[in-house]
Amino acid sequence: MSEDLSDPTVAHGKPTPDMCCLCSYEDITEEDGNYVEYMSSPSLTWSPSLFELPMITHLLSTQFSTYMSRVKSTDCQAELRRLLASGPPVWVSDKTALPLPEGDTHVERLWYAKDGKERSARLVGSVVGEERERLIEELRKFVVVEGKEEGDEEEKGEEKGEGKE
The pLDDT assigned to 89 comes to 97
The pLDDT assigned to 116 comes to 93
Nearby residues of 102 by Cβ (< 8 Å), 6 or more positions away: none
The pLDDT assigned to 141 comes to 84
Mean pLDDT value across the chain: 87
The pLDDT assigned to 148 comes to 53
The pLDDT assigned to 157 comes to 47
Contact predicate 49/20, CB 8 Å: no
pLDDT tens for the chain, 165 residues long, are: 456 666 666 789 999 999 999 999 999 999 999 999 999 999 999 999 999 999 999 999 999 999 999 998 998 989 999 999 989 999 999 999 999 999 999 999 999 999 999 999 999 999 999 999 999 999 888 887 655 555 555 544 444 444 443
pTM for this model (two decimals): 0.80
The pLDDT assigned to 160 comes to 44
The pLDDT assigned to 18 comes to 94
Pairing mode, strands 106-112 and 45-48: unpaired
The pLDDT assigned to 6 comes to 67
The pLDDT assigned to 158 comes to 43
| Rounded Cα–Cα distance for residues 57 and 62 (Å) | 9
Contact predicate 50/21, CB 8 Å: yes
